[in-house]
């Protein structure tokens, strides 16, 4: 007897299950891509761990950590203005005209010097334009770089350490005494208070004439 098998389905039944799983992966993947796109499009407030590749393999671990160069040698406007400044090529050549002067890693620095075109460092920390921030106001009131940037001296490549959200700013503005240090310790990366932070903080708060909580949480302080 001739056996006629049923017309074959385009796919065996069990495949359907996989199509469902596959579709949901695609769906989830889509949502994920969207989430990442939104996240990436938002200014750099919540990008903890954001560490873009830089045009030169400059290492804070080596220069600020092992060699112990003070932050202000390169970020020399950090205690006098709102911006911290990224050093111009000449600052690198103060040393690299002689040290490792033929290093391949320093080719972009030598090219920048020869052409006069600045190195295009990729910005890492980036608040939205509607927020006012000022470095000197913090650095001259005993808030250390490490409170906001983490242990830069341990970073081969700089990455964002804190969320930089409004909630994060306000957290400190409500209780700044927890974070105040003597002024000569602001760039010390491994700073530990010599006395009880509570007592020290209260004393420094009075000494630096820090505004009260009301003024430090006033909307117009940061949204001008």
Task: Provide the minimum distance between the beta carbon of 31 and ligand HEC in the complex, in angstroms, as a whole number.
Answer: 21
Length of the chain, in residues: 224
Task: Provide the minimum distance between the beta carbon of 168 and ligand HEC in the complex, in angstroms, as a whole number.
Answer: 6
Give CA 165 to chain center in angstroms.
12
Task: Provide the minimum distance between the beta carbon of 203 and ligand HEC in the complex, in angstroms, as a whole number.
Answer: 14
Q: Which is nearer to ligand HEC, 21 or 99 (CB)?
A: 99
Q: Which is nearer to ligand HEC, 57 or 200 (CB)?
A: 57
DSSP 47-116: -TT--PPPSS---HIIIIIIS---HHHHSTTTTTSS---PPPHHHHHHHHTTTTTT-GGGHHHHHHHHH-
β partners of residue 180? 143
Dihedral angle of Cα 110, 82, 201, 146, to the nearest 10 degrees: -30
Residues numbered 50-109 forming contacts with ligand HEC, rule: CB under 6 A:
54, 56-58, 60, 62-64, 67, 69, 71, 73-75, 78, 83-84, 86-87, 91-92, 94-96, 99-100, 103, 105-106, 109
Residues numbered 111-150 forming contacts with ligand HEC, rule: CB under 6 A:
121, 123-128, 131-135, 137-139, 141, 143, 145, 147-149
Residues numbered 156-195 forming contacts with ligand HEC, rule: CB under 6 A:
158, 164-166, 169-170, 172-173, 176, 179, 186-187, 189
With the C-alpha atoms ordered 210, 211, 216, 221, is the resulting torsion angle positive or negative? negative
Q: Which is nearer to ligand HEC, 203 or 223 (CB)?
A: 223
Residue 140 DSSP class: T
Q: Which is nearer to ligand HEC, 126 or 191 (CB)?
A: 126
Task: Provide the minimum distance between the beta carbon of 43 and ligand HEC in the complex, in angstroms, as a whole number.
Answer: 7
> 3-state DSSP call for residue 9?
coil
Task: Extract the tokens encoding 170.
Answer: 């306000």
Evaluate whether 130 touches 223 at the Cβ level (below 8 Å): yes
Q: Which is nearer to ligand HEC, 28 or 132 (CB)?
A: 132
């Amino acid at each position: 007897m001739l056996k006629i098998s049923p017309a074959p389905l385009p796919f065996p039944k069990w495949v359907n299950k996989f199509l469902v799983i596959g579709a949901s992966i695609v769906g989830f993947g889509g949502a994920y891509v969207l989430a990442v796109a939104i996240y990436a499009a938002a200014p750099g407030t919540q990008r903890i761990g954001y560490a873009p590749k830089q045009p030169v393999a400059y290492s804070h671990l080596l220069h600020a950590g092992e060699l112990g160069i003070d932050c202000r040698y390169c970020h020399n406007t950090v205690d006098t203005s709102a911006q911290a400044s990224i050093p111009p090529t000449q600052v690198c050549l103060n040393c690299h005209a002689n040290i490792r002067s033929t290093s391949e890693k320093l080719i972009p620095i030598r090219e920048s010097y020869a052409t006069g075109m600045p190195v295009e460092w990729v910005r890492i920390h980036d608040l939205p334009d509607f927020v006012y921030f000022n470095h000197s106001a913090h650095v001259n009131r005993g808030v250390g770089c490490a409170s906001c940037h983490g242990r830069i001296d341990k970073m081969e490549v700089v990455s964002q350490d804190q969320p930089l959200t409004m909630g994060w700013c306000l957290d400190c503005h409500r209780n700044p005494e927890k974070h105040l240090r003597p002024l000569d310790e602001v760039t010390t990366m491994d700073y530990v208070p010599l006395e009880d932070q509570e007592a020290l903080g209260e004393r420094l708060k009075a000494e630096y004439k820090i505004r009260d909580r009301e003024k430090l949480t006033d909307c117009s302080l940061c949204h001008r």
